Amino acid sequence: MYPSPDAIKLSTKASPSLPEHIVIIDSTWQQARKIYNHSPYIQELPCYALTDTEASRFTMRRNQLEGGLCTLETVAALAKLNNLPQLAESLYRDLDQLQS
């Protein structure tokens, strides 16, 4: 999962065919960009981007990428796309508890 101009769009309002395995760089957006740019083996993988997502609930860091999600929100959105709504809601509840 990485936003790039040629990323394959995964709409949260459709039932896309998801890849069997997904790599998520678990880091700040600034650090994730550095990891991606310095990792040729990751750059060889197809990029996917979530579209039509809810606004991020993550408030623990400043300088967030507009429209960007934290790692937990990304996993929750993917859980929804994989027809695992209870898992997604559980993850969102955990995020809300962490921030309160």
The per-residue pLDDT string of the chain (100 residues; one tens digit each, 9 = 90 and over) reads 767 788 888 877 766 678 888 899 888 878 888 999 999 999 999 888 888 777 777 766 665 656 678 888 889 989 988 889 999 999 999 988 887 7
Cβ atoms < 10 Å from Cβ of 37 = 10
pLDDT at 54: 74
Q: What is the pTM of this model?
A: 0.79
Q: Count each helix (H run) and each strand (E run) in the chain, helices first.
A: 4, 2
Kindly list the domain boundaries of the chain, sorted by start residue.
8-99
Tell which residue, 2, 73, 69, has the closest CA to residue 35: 2
pLDDT at 1: 72
